[in-house]
């Protein structure tokens, strides 16, 4: 009984995070302007972690039919059931309407994990990228590694380059890859710690597909900044993020072969870091064009709520109750 009480208080403690008022006030001002009335319902989800949902991405390299049965018993069902332009049968992700998190698996050296817990919207950039076997792929800002793992559930790239500039996050990325990918395949993956802004000059026209899951103001985690000083600093640095994102995108375009495509994604609602950055790229780079992803959006509209009025080459997932995924911005471009 005492043990169950301890576990209960631990669980409560994890969910009773303190909202950082400074960040909330900042978001309130910005997103009321950008999202209008929609912001009220989005804010209700973002500020109540108890209503957050988590998806379970199965690892095809460590398959277990028992796990799928357990998930079904617990009320999970396969995600992405609508017709999609690209959906490899090897990609298996389970979701459920009710909130809560499936227990995580600990990292054990030499043992592959059976599943990866993530926000289901994180798979949309991977589906938009449409990686096929044998293609050369660059994941420019790869940590913590969930999207890299998801790409490898979809296809076997010829050359797969996972890059992460930050030292701590790079170690996290390596551990994720070790936890999910078997040895023979790991040897085909290059993990680097290069400055993403320079990769295009270092490796021009080397890749068929590039994913730029850019550093951004992560709305979910920023709302719960435990340290006021850190929160203030983040809000100051927030103004510099669009410039960094633009430079990363420009580098990604240089790294792409003509005819290759790139997907840009963030986990923020901020227009300055999303459509404004893409508009700037389209206006300043004559060798890229937008790619329509509205069919994909239509195919997943059962699972996700989207901001209306966006362009055909972009989408923005809005968290709502019962579909508490996102925020996730996705845009697709092609190099001419």
Q: Are 87 and 308 in contact, with CB atoms under 8 Å apart? A: no
Is 201 annotated as ligand-binding? no
State the Cα–Cα distance between residues 158 and 150, nearest whole angstrom: 16
Is 164 annotated as ligand-binding? yes
Q: How many CB atoms lie within 10 A of CB 110?
A: 6
Is 309 annotated as ligand-binding? no
Please give the structure tokens belonging to residue 139.
Answer: 């994941």
DSSP code of residue 77: E
One-character DSSP codes across 207-226: EEEEEEE-----HHHHTT-S
Tell me whether residue 267 is one of the annotated catalytic residues: yes
Is 215 annotated as ligand-binding? no
Is 133 annotated as ligand-binding? no
Is 120 annotated as ligand-binding? no
Q: Which residue has the tokens 């790139």?
A: 262
Please give the structure tokens belonging to residue 49.
Answer: 């972690």
How many CA atoms, within 13 angstroms, populate the side-chain half-sphere of residue 121?
25
Task: Report how far apart, in Å, the C-alpha atoms of 132 and of each of 52, 160, 212, 230 are.
Answer: 32, 12, 18, 41
Please give the structure tokens belonging to residue 281.
Answer: 């790229």
Is 146 annotated as ligand-binding? yes
Residue of 20, 93, 216, 267 with catalytic role: 267
Is 147 annotated as ligand-binding? yes
DSSP code of residue 323: B
Is 142 annotated as ligand-binding? yes
Is 154 annotated as ligand-binding? no
**Active centre residues (catalytic):** 267
Q: Which residues are annotated as a binding site?
A: 141-147, 164, 195, 213
Q: Which residues are annotated as a binding site for S-adenosyl-L-methionine?
A: 141-147, 164, 195, 213
């Amino acid at each position: 009984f005492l043990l169950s009480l301890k576990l209960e208080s631990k669980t409560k403690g994890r969910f009773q995070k303190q909202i950082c008022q400074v960040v909330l006030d900042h978001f309130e001002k910005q997103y009321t302007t950008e999202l209008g009335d929609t912001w009220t319902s989005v804010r209700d989800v973002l500020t109540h972690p108890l209503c957050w949902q988590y998806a379970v991405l199965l690892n095809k390299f460590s398959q277990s039919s028992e796990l799928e049965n357990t998930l079904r018993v617990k009320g999970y069902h396969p995600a992405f059931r609508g017709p999609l332009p690209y959906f490899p049968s090897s990609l298996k992700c389970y979701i459920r309407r009710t909130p809560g998190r499936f227990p995580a698996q600990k990292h054990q050296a030499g043992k592959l994990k059976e599943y990866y817990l993530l926000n289901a919207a994180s798979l949309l950039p991977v589906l938009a990228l449409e990686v096929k076997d044998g293609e050369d792929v660059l994941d420019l800002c790869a940590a913590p590694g969930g999207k890299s793992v998801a790409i490898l559930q979809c296809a076997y790239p010829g050359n797969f380059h996972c890059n992460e500039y930050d030292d701590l996050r790079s170690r996290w990325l390596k551990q994720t890859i070790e936890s999910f990918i078997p040895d023979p395949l790991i040897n085909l993956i290059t993990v680097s710690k290069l400055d993403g802004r320079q990769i295009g000059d270092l490796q021009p026209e080397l890749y068929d597909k590039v994913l730029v899951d850019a550093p951004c103001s992560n709305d979910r985690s920023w709302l719960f900044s435990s340290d006021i000083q850190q929160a203030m600093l983040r809000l100051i640095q927030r103004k510099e993020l669009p410039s960094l994102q633009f430079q990363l995108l420009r580098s990604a375009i240089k790294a792409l072969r003509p005819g290759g495509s790139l997907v840009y994604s963030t986990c923020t609602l901020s227009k300055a870091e999303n459509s404004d950055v893409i508009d700037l790229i389209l206006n300043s780079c004559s060798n890229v064009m937008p790619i329509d992803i509205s069919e994909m959006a239509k195919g997943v509209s059962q699972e996700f709520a989207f901001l209306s009025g966006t362009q055909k080459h972009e989408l923005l997932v809005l968290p709502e109750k019962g579909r508490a995924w996102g925020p996730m911005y996705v845009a697709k471009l092609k190099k001419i």
